[in-house]
Amino acid sequence: MTDPHAQGATILADPLRNKGTAFSPHERADLGLDGLLPPAVETLDEQVSRAYEAFHDYGKALNRHIYLRQLQDTNEVLFYRLVTDHLEELLPVIYTPTVGEACRRFSSIYRRPRGLYLSWGDRHRFREILRNRPHGDEGVDVIVVTDGQRILGLGDQGVGGMGIPIGKLSLYTAIGGIDPARTLPILLDVGTDNEELLADPRYLGRREHRLTGAEYDEMIEAFVSAVEAELPGTLLQWEDFATPHARPILTRYRDRLLTFNDDIQGTAAVALGALSTAAAVAGTPLPEQRLVVLGAGSAAIGVADMIRTAVIEEGLSAAEAAGRFWVVDIDGLLTRSRTDLTDEQRVYAREDTEATGWNGTSLAEVVRRVAPTALIGLSTAHGAFSEEIVRQMASACERPIIFPLSNPTSHAEADPADLARWTDGRALIATGSPFPPLLVDEQEVPVAQANNVYVFPAIGLAVTASRATRVTDRMLVAAARAVARCAARAQDAGEGPARLLPPLAGMREAARDIALAAALAAVEDGVAPKATEEELREAIAATRWTPHYSTAPVAS
């Protein structure tokens, strides 16, 4: 006979079944919870109010982050209801920029396990270890995996990178409505080259330098093979892999399983969505934009690729589309004569003759010579968009589009307040990290944050609802255009000055439309079963998990 008291303690320890003080008297008696909880019976709304007050009792952002993670580990319904009720306020605490500090201090603030850690020595047992996942009797809709090498703009954080998959999957649920029981964060511990971490006695990861070469590739292949065998059909999102690995991994596996890289493709889709809105506001169609991109890493090239795909769809040839870009890295403009370019970078290399007579090929000179309509930064070079460069751009462009997209805030290419001042309020701005609102013509204007939350939760919802087997470029372009439409609808609703992106507070609702656009593209691309738009709408509605308590007795 089952001991009801043991059952009750087990339920309280399970964040997906625990309702805390919301258990009714009948449930408490039936489940062996009598005496284990304070006498008061609260509604979920009352619990949210109390949790929100507790959140504000913490002054530092990192302490608030820790509180929210502890709440998630105690009662997931309450956590997600709190987050969805206060999404815009809590998003910077759950994710960027606070998650960067949480990753940096992961070993010292570690409280309770979440997700799976896969190490080199266990590579032949990965499938077995995948079966150890929490809620192993459930399938998995979304995995987010990182090796911790390129965490935001902070670099190698080793095992501390686990904070990123945990945070991302929280947003898959809060915004996309993916059932939290069907998500799985994974850290591939391939070591770390961060000497500070290796010397830290509290570091919780593998105390060896990073795997490289064939061993690294073997580790990745072992992981992918285990996922294919154990969790076929699961969306696998690659997160914060360094440039030398990110693109090759995506190229190697994107046609083999349901997968995408959020840093390359998600960032690109959000940037395209914001750029599409800005181009409409500026009155210069997307195919007519002259784009200078600072940075040539995987994220920057991913943004260029996504925009190029969109303008090709709008009628330009591949060569014409590539010709709309001038890409600048630490060594200057990408040109044909350079021998240090990857195949992906070489697509955007300019003829050397174009720079004849120039005073070098720095960003300042490129801006002076090209007179761009859009300036996009993914360089992590703080302050790279200087006053001189921005004023030069604004002198030749009525509505300059300027996107300092590097994360975290300390690595942004410019502060939006400076950009507004240097352009007399004419700049159309989107950033990678959150910034305070601007005061333009005595009106408070929110700074559009080109946060990947506009796309990746909707992609997860789209592939889960449509039963897609691949993530295609057209699905991501469709999602980007849906983001722009959602922003336009918010503008039509009279929500103040021009918005380049939808209001974050309404992202859970917008995610439905963005997911629908991506799902329709999946059907059109033949990577999802045939379905009508209405059938996809119904599938999306049926797929979405919402944070509420069941009124039925909790199963043991």
- The CA-to-CA distance between both ends of the chain, in Å, stands at 13
Q: What pLDDT sits at residue 443?
A: 78
H or E segment to which residue 218 belongs: helix 213-230
19: annotated active-site residue: no
Kindly state whether residues 276 and 248 are assigned to the same domain. Answer: no
Question: What is the longest distance spanned by two Cα atoms in the chain?
Answer: 88
Is 451 annotated as contributing to ligand binding? yes
pLDDT exceeds 80 at position 442: no
Confidence of residue 494 (pLDDT cuts 50, 70, 90): low
Domain stop point among 453, 479, 514: 453
- Specify the range with the lowest mean pLDDT, choosing from 1-15, 260-274, 329-343, 413-427: 1-15
Mean of the per-residue pLDDT values for the chain?
Answer: 94
For position 350, which CATH number holds?
3.40.50.720
- Burial classification of residue 484, based on how many CB atoms lie within 10 Å of its CB (0-12 exposed, 13-18 middle, 19 or more buried): buried
Confidence of residue 434 (pLDDT cuts 50, 70, 90): confident
The CA distance from 406 to 491, in Å, is: 26
- Burial classification of residue 395, based on how many CB atoms lie within 10 Å of its CB (0-12 exposed, 13-18 middle, 19 or more buried): exposed
pLDDT exceeds 80 at position 492: no
The CA distance from 112 to 348, in Å, is: 46
Kindly state whether residues 223 and 329 are assigned to the same domain. Answer: no
Kindly state whether residues 153 and 203 are assigned to the same domain. Answer: yes
Domain stop point among 257, 285, 315: 257
Smallest CA-to-CA distance from 54 within 21, 18, 73, 79 is with 79
Residue 281 resides in a domain: yes
CA distances, 478 to each of 142, 289, 526 (Å): 20, 20, 15
Kindly state whether residues 358 and 407 are assigned to the same domain. Answer: yes
Residue 125 resides in a domain: yes
Asked if 244 contacts 210 with a C-beta cutoff of 8 angstroms, the reply is no
Domain stop point among 257, 292, 314: 257
The set of residues, in sequence order, having a beta carbon less than 8 Å from that of 358 and lying 6+ positions away, is: 365, 369
Q: What pLDDT sits at residue 433?
A: 84
pLDDT tens for 379-402 read 999 999 999 999 999 999 999 999
3-state helix, strand, coil in the chain (%, to 5): 50, 10, 40
- Partnered with residue 328 across adjacent β-strands are 294, 333
Amino acid at the residue 33: L
Q: What pLDDT sits at residue 556?
A: 46
Q: Which of 80, 168, 348, 454 is catalytic?
A: 168
Q: What pLDDT sits at residue 409?
A: 84
Q: What pLDDT sits at residue 1?
A: 40
H or E segment to which residue 98 belongs: helix 98-104
Residue 285 resides in a domain: yes
pLDDT tens for 262-309 read 999 999 999 999 999 999 999 999 999 999 999 999 899 999 999 999
95: annotated active-site residue: yes
Is 221 annotated as contributing to ligand binding? no
The CA distance from 3 to 359, in Å, is: 81
Residue 9 resides in a domain: no
pLDDT tens for 117-176 read 999 999 999 999 999 998 878 899 999 999 999 988 789 999 999 999 999 999 999 999
Is 131 annotated as contributing to ligand binding? no
Domain that holds residue 138: 114-257
H or E segment to which residue 443 belongs: strand 443-445
Kindly state whether residues 218 and 356 are assigned to the same domain. Answer: no
Kindly state whether residues 191 and 331 are assigned to the same domain. Answer: no
Q: What pLDDT sits at residue 3?
A: 53
Residue 126 resides in a domain: yes
Kindly state whether residues 229 and 334 are assigned to the same domain. Answer: no
Please report the DSSP string for 260-300 in residue order: EEIIIIIHHHHHHHHHHHHHHHHT--GGG--EEEE--SHHH
Q: Which residue has the higher pLDDT, 353 or 493?
A: 353
- Specify the range with the lowest mean pLDDT, choosing from 242-256, 415-429, 490-504: 490-504
H or E segment to which residue 118 belongs: strand 116-119
- Specify the range with the lowest mean pLDDT, choosing from 126-140, 210-224, 343-357, 490-504: 490-504
Residue 85 resides in a domain: no
Residues recorded for the chain:
556
- Partnered with residue 206 across adjacent β-strands are none
Amino acid at the residue 214: A
For position 162, which CATH number holds?
3.40.50.10380
CA distances, 110 to each of 202, 241, 546 (Å): 10, 22, 28
Residue 157 resides in a domain: yes
The CA distance from 131 to 135, in Å, is: 9
Is 239 annotated as contributing to ligand binding? yes
pLDDT tens for 15-44 read 999 999 999 999 999 999 999 999 999 999
Kindly state whether residues 284 and 427 are assigned to the same domain. Answer: yes
Residue 195 resides in a domain: yes
Half-sphere exposure of 390 (CA within 13 A, CB side): 28
Q: Which of 19, 80, 95, 454 is catalytic?
A: 95
Confidence of residue 531 (pLDDT cuts 50, 70, 90): very high
Amino acid at the residue 56: H
pLDDT exceeds 90 at position 550: no
Q: What pLDDT sits at residue 25?
A: 96
Instruction: Report the domain count for the chain.
Output: 2
Kindly state whether residues 355 and 209 are assigned to the same domain. Answer: no
Confidence of residue 552 (pLDDT cuts 50, 70, 90): low
> 406-431 as b/e, with b when 16 or more CB fall inside 10 Å?
bbbbebbbbbbebbbebbeeebbbbb
Is 263 annotated as contributing to ligand binding? yes
The whole-number average pLDDT for the span 440-460 is 89
pLDDT exceeds 80 at position 555: no
Kindly state whether residues 322 and 270 are assigned to the same domain. Answer: yes
Kindly state whether residues 270 and 402 are assigned to the same domain. Answer: yes
Kindly state whether residues 243 and 372 are assigned to the same domain. Answer: no
Q: What pLDDT sits at residue 421?
A: 94
Name the percent of the chain lying above pLDDT 70.
97
